[in-house]
Amino acid sequence: MRILAIESSCDETAAAIYDTKKRKLCANVVVSQIDIFKSYGGVIPEVAARSHLEAILPVIDKAFADAGLTVAGENDWAQIDAIAVTHTPGLLGSLLIGTLTARTLALVHQKPLYLVHHLKSHIYSCWIESGEQPEQFPVLALVVSGGHTQIIKMWSAQKFAVIGTTMDDAVGECFDKIAKILGLPYPGGPAISQAAARGERERYQFPHPKVEGLNFSFSGLKTAVLRLVQKECGVGLDYPSKDLQKLLQPQQVADLAASFENCACEILLEKLQKALVENPEVKTVMIAGGVSANGLLREKALAKLRGVTVLFPPRGFSGDNAAMVALAAAGEIAAGVQPADPRKVEILPRSEIR
């Protein structure tokens, strides 16, 4: 079976074609809007939606062409057996473009339509290379992105329970906000990592939040970095944060980036270690979502999470893409999940994983 998957939940327009029988990714096209949002320093929802509208059909056409499914300049729909799309959570206008396109294509070409949860796709991204799920459940997943920071216990490939979540900012959001303070470009994660490579991790210490159970908090860390920068620059609390970057030396930026990155990774892994102590039957941990591209997080996770298998998405699949949507839909189809009614597509900006 071949699945055409579409992803448009934030600022990437993506389409992929996955062959479930061969477990082969036949096409994977991602068009990022990063260049547009670099000048704004963040995503503007209306602009993102308009960019998705422009990109979505060319992206789908390219997926057909890359998969060798274009015949005489036309997409060969006879070769596609199902359509999958991210319908929640995400930016409403962005989700609308992907879901509306997917349901129209499903109706016109009479294909079953699968609506996939974004966090589920991120988790499935860990299985893109092998095409195989872990043999033994339950497993734990840490999903770290621009909108989410959650520890999810998976009883099976289809059954989830959120056992820890952020009380305020997501960790990716924190990377993005601190990058802004330090004068580093959007998206903040890769920019912070790059700056941190020249910095000293131990130069600054930040307090770890005291949050109950397996939950997280990142707004305190963001404020702690801001206060430290203000102190280092010799300015008061009312000094505009956007002007601080002018007062910082390059080495200070590198040291602040390295110390913050180190602290954020420690906070994430502390809770994951606690989750493993509380769930000793778990033998596999997956770390997925945009922040899972972080080299230090990967290095520290492998060093600290002993006695369990730690899986990450392959390079290039941590951020939003449609290959993971196809894989999640393939999992649903294999588990006997029924397709959605294309006339009743539900789009939710927020929702629990399911």
Binding map of ligand KG4 across residues 261-290, x = CB under 6 A, - = no contact: ----------------------------xx
Binding partner of residue 190 among Zn ion, ligand KG4, none, CB under 5 to 8 Å per kind? ligand KG4
Answer yes or no whether residue 7 interacts with ligand KG4 by CB under 6 A. no
Answer yes or no whether residue 342 interacts with ligand KG4 by CB under 6 A. no
The binder of Zn ion chosen from 7, 169, 255, 320 (CB under 5 A): 320
3-state secondary structure of 43: coil
The binder of Zn ion chosen from 51, 99, 145, 217 (CB under 5 A): 145
Which CB sits closer to ligand KG4, 19 or 320?
320
Pairing relation of β-strands 82-88 and 113-117? parallel
Answer yes or no whether residue 294 interacts with ligand KG4 by CB under 6 A. yes
Q: Binders of Zn ion: how many residues, by CB under 5 A? A: 2
Q: Please state, in angstroms and rounded to a whole number, the distance separating the CA atoms of residues 215 and 158.
A: 23
The binder of ligand KG4 chosen from 16, 59, 291, 330 (CB under 6 A): 291
Q: Please state, in angstroms and rounded to a whole number, the distance separating the CA atoms of residues 28 and 319.
A: 13
Q: Please state, in angstroms and rounded to a whole number, the distance separating the CA atoms of residues 51 and 343.
A: 25
Among 28-36, 169-177, 234-242, 301-309, the segment contacting ligand KG4 (CB under 6 A): 169-177
Pairing relation of β-strands 149-156 and 12-19? unpaired
Contact residues for 37 (Cβ-Cβ < 8 A; gap 6+): 11, 43, 44, 47, 48, 186
| 58, 70, 75, 78 from 65: Cα distances, Å | 10, 5, 8, 14
> And the tokens for 269?
């892994």
Are the C-beta atoms of 327 and 68 separated by less than 8 Å? no
Q: How far is the CB of 313 from ligand KG4 (least distance, A)?
A: 10
Q: How far is the CB of 290 from ligand KG4 (least distance, A)?
A: 2
Answer yes or no whether residue 319 interacts with ligand KG4 by CB under 6 A. yes
Residue of 315, 309, 208, 342 whose CA lies nearest to 266: 208
Which CB sits closer to ligand KG4, 164 or 172?
172
Per CB under 6 A, residues contacting ligand KG4 are 10, 145-147, 172-173, 175-176, 187-190, 193, 289-291, 293-294, 319-320
Interface residues with Zn ion (CB under 5 A)? 145, 320
